[in-house]
Structure 1
Amino acid sequence: MTEYERARTMPAPPEHVFDRAADVDRLDTWLPQSLHVHAEELPAVTVHEDRTDENTQALLRAQPDQMRLEWGTRAQGSYTGWLQVAGIGSGASEVTVHLSFFEDSHDPGEQAVHDALDTSLRRLEEQVRLRIDDAAG
């Protein structure tokens, strides 16, 4: 098993960050650009990966009371992940994303995963800032 984790500070209260991250209809705005999530009957979702042009059956669970998202593949059990939002004071939050690959064949490699996580967290921060700007304007 291979695990990866990245964190980023965001300039918004944890509730705002979690609401944006957990919005199933807006996941494509912050996930890696090659992944597209189509909600079925939650927690069931289908994830389409552009790189392989494959659809994967997955589960996505939001736990608002814990400000946590959890996901993973359904049939294969080869991949899981979670996102945790925590308040750090002064109206800011820290978002941590953790990925676990149970099969080497599903692990795209350390550099690719770190790049994807960093980009996703940056894109999530952009979405959080847009929401704050929209609320203020």
Structure 2
Amino acid sequence: MAEYERSRTMPAQPEQVFDQAANVAQFDSWLPDELHVDAEEPPAVTVHEAGSGQDLPALLRSQPDQMRLEWGTREQGSYTGWLQVAGIGSGTSEVTVHLSFFEGGHDPGERAVYEALDGSLRRLEEQVRMRVEHTAG
């Protein structure tokens, strides 16, 4: 089993960050380019991996009271992950994303995972900034 985790500080209240992160209709704006999520009947979703062309049945659970998202593959149990938002004061938040791969065939490797996590968190921060600026202006 391989586990990866990355965190990033974002300039917004945790509720604003979580609302942006949990908006399934806008996942494509911050998830890695090769992943696309199609919400069926939540918590059931389908994740399309552009690189492999596969559609994987998955589950996505949103826990707004805990500002946490959890996901994982449904049938083969090859990977799981979670995103947690925490307020750190002064109108800022920390977002942590954790991935666990249970089968080597689904683990793209340390470098690829960290690049994808860093890129996703950067794009999520951009989305949060736009939302906060739009709400304030």
Helix, strand or coil for the counterpart of 2:83? strand
The alignment yields a C-alpha RMSD, in angstroms, of 0.4
State the AA in 1 paired with 2:51.
Answer: R
> How does 1:1-137 map onto structure 2 within 5 Å?
1-137=1-137
CA displacement at 1:136 relative to structure 2 = 1.6
How far off is 1:133 after superposition? Answer: 1.3
Please give the per-residue CA displacement for 1:96-126, whole angstroms capped at 9, x wherever unaligned.
0000000011100000000000000000000
Q: Which one is further off, 127-136 or 88-97? A: 127-136
Q: Distance in 1 between matches of 2:87 and 2:14?
A: 5
User: Which blocks of at least 5 consecutive residues in structure 2 are unaligned?
Assistant: none
CA distance in 2 between partners of 1:65 and 1:136 (Å): 24
User: TM-score normalized by structure 2?
Assistant: 0.99
Return the letter of the residue paired with 1:69. L
Q: Deviations over 1:79-104 (max 9, x none)?
A: 00000000000000000000000001
Deviations 1:3-60 (A, max 9, x none): 0000000000000000000001111110001110000000000011110111000000
Runs of 4 or more off by more than 4 Å in structure 1? none
Structure 2 counterpart of 1:61, one-letter code: R
TM-score (norm 1): 0.99
- Runs (5+) with no aligned partner, structure 1: none
Take 2:127 and 2:95, find their aligned partners in 1: how far apart are those partners? 13
Instruction: Tell me, in whole angstroms, the C-alpha distance in 1 between the residues paired with 2:28 and 2:43.
Output: 17
